[in-house]
Amino acid sequence: MNPTIELLTAHRSIRAFTPEPIEQAKIETFIKAGQAAATSSFIQACTVIQVNNQQKRAALAEYAGNQPYVVSAPVFLVFCADMHRHKIACDLHHADMQSGFTEQFMTATIDCALFAQNVAIAAESEGLGIVYIGGLRNQIANVSELLGLPDKVYPVFGLCIGYPDQNPEVKPRLPLPMVLKQDTYTDAQDTALLADYDNEIREYYRNRTGGNKEMSWSEQISGMLVKEARPHMLSFLQSKGYLLK
Amino acid sequence: MNPTIELLTAHRSIRAFTPEPIEQAKIETFIKAGQAAATSSFIQACTVIQVNNQQKRAALAEYAGNQPYVVSAPVFLVFCADMHRHKIACDLHHADMQSGFTEQFMTATIDCALFAQNVAIAAESEGLGIVYIGGLRNQIANVSELLGLPDKVYPVFGLCIGYPDQNPEVKPRLPLPMVLKQDTYTDAQDTALLADYDNEIREYYRNRTGGNKEMSWSEQISGMLVKEARPHMLSFLQSKGYLLK
């Protein structure tokens, strides 16, 4: 394995940071690395809001379900799917922009994810730690208002960046044959593979918590999926001009 | 810049490949690097179909709007958002899975994008070239049927991987202040910045095509956005159990 693949494979989320600041020039380098990611039909539909204001940070931490590292991380970024600038481009050419298509929601959201993953890797390659904050979507309308996001811009997730003040283990992932299939989707082996993996994850939590937590992957997932998942999402996104058709 | 950031920043899509094959062990290393990416609430909702069968490759190339490199690339992967395995997990615990939420569509799709970007970077770090194939979504129902995707599994995009047989330039991205904003979204400078960028892109195409193509970013975008964007998408995704509420 080369050093880049080693870096990718060693990822774990970091939720405790030292107070050491990060130079702005470095952040800008990470953002440029993010921009360099592939973008669907060159649409470049990602905008990043760097949140420095401490009151805004505190509000965002609360919106995310009280995640204190949203405040304590030296850098906090919000990745926004952005088709507002495409409206500017269309207006410039007196073109009647066709919007609201589900496909556009997908390309803008995927653009953000590819961009963000490059930022995350760039940061990690400099010895920094990161954690994605999907919890911003708990109160997505409040996040959007706090950051002044216009029509056709929505916050996809946040990203904390800072020097790690913890050293968690890498969490074991699903067995390879469950996630890499040849030519056709088949789940013939998946139940057996899942049983092995469930044991592995149970063991992982047991070791990590000194025996206090014992939960398999399927238990964790099934416990989560019996509940509604952010049921406000569709109407919020539609209010922003997405997923209308 | 460290070598990983240099690699990220040097990305350009590769659409012509030498016939040199890629060892399967290497592909598996890339997939493991993909799995190591962050995953929302540990949901691990990405499955990759590696398409080796040449007839399937030919069909996929056609579905993608006749992109011949879908056939000629040594490796072709289809990244699928997959909540089928979560249904297996729920059934195992007699849990009544709540599905169809827009939020779940987002987490599964974002999981795939983060995973795929790690695969892309891992491949590039080994001197390979890649191109994402969003064109699979042109005929997404046919792609889904060809690969035998069950309920709650949908193809997000493809990825061609191989040794580059071309050396295109890096395409200039939007000016940094358009994509990195501080504390609040503002577009006050964007129209002026866009004008500069439009000139830069016009120049890029002029040089690249020996003067045959001259098009600014805003022209390209406005030309694209006056058309419908894959209007079949919402009903297809709903047929797969996504975006129902």
Which residues 6+ apart lie within 8 Å of A207 measured at CB?
none
Q: What is the C-alpha separation between B129 and B166, in angstroms, rounded?
A: 9
Q: Which residues of chain B make contact with A103, given a CB cutoff of 8 A?
A: 137, 229-231, 233
3-state SS assignment for residue B187: coil
The residue of chain B with its CA nearest to that of A223 is B95
Share of chain A above pLDDT 90, in %: 96
Structure tokens at A88: 């500017």
* DSSP of A92-124: HTT-------HHHHHHHHHHHHHHHHHHHHHHH
The residue whose two tokens read 């069950």 is B150
* Optimal mutation site among B156, B181, B205, interface A, most CBs of chain A within 10 A: B181
Q: What is the pLDDT of residue A103?
A: 98
Q: What is the pLDDT of residue A209?
A: 85
Of A8, A122, A170, the CB nearest to B122: A8
The per-residue b/e assignment along B63-87, b for 16 or more CB within 10 angstroms, e otherwise, is bbeebebbbbbbbbbbbbbbbbbbb
Q: Which residues of chain A make contact with B98, given a CB cutoff of 8 A?
A: 225-229
Q: Which residues of chain B make contact with A231, given a CB cutoff of 8 A?
A: 101, 103, 245
Flag whether pLDDT at B213 surpasses 90: no
Share of chain A above pLDDT 70, in %: 100
* Optimal mutation site among B6, B7, B8, B224, interface A, most CBs of chain A within 10 A: B8
3-state SS assignment for residue A164: strand
Q: Does this complex have an ipTM over 0.95? A: yes
Contact A117, A33 (CB under 8 A): no
Q: What is the C-alpha separation between A94 and B209, in angstroms, rounded?
A: 27
Q: What is the pLDDT of residue B174?
A: 98
* CATH architecture under which domain A3-169+228-239 falls: 3-Layer(aba) Sandwich (3.40)
CATH H-level, domain B3-169+230-239: superfamily: NADH Oxidase (3.40.109.10)
Of B95, B131, B183, the CB nearest to A53: B183
Flag whether pLDDT at A212 surpasses 90: no
pLDDT digits (tens, 9 = 90+) for A76-127: 999 999 999 999 999 999 999 999 999 999 999 999 999 999 999 999 999 9
Contact A96, B226 (CB under 8 A): yes
Q: What is the pLDDT of residue A25?
A: 98
pLDDT digits (tens, 9 = 90+) for A215-234: 999 999 999 999 999 999 99
Contact B108, B81 (CB under 8 A): yes
pLDDT digits (tens, 9 = 90+) for B184-209: 999 999 999 999 999 999 999 999 88
Domain ranges for chain B, please list them: 3-169+230-239, 176-214
Pairing of strands A153-162, B46-50: unpaired
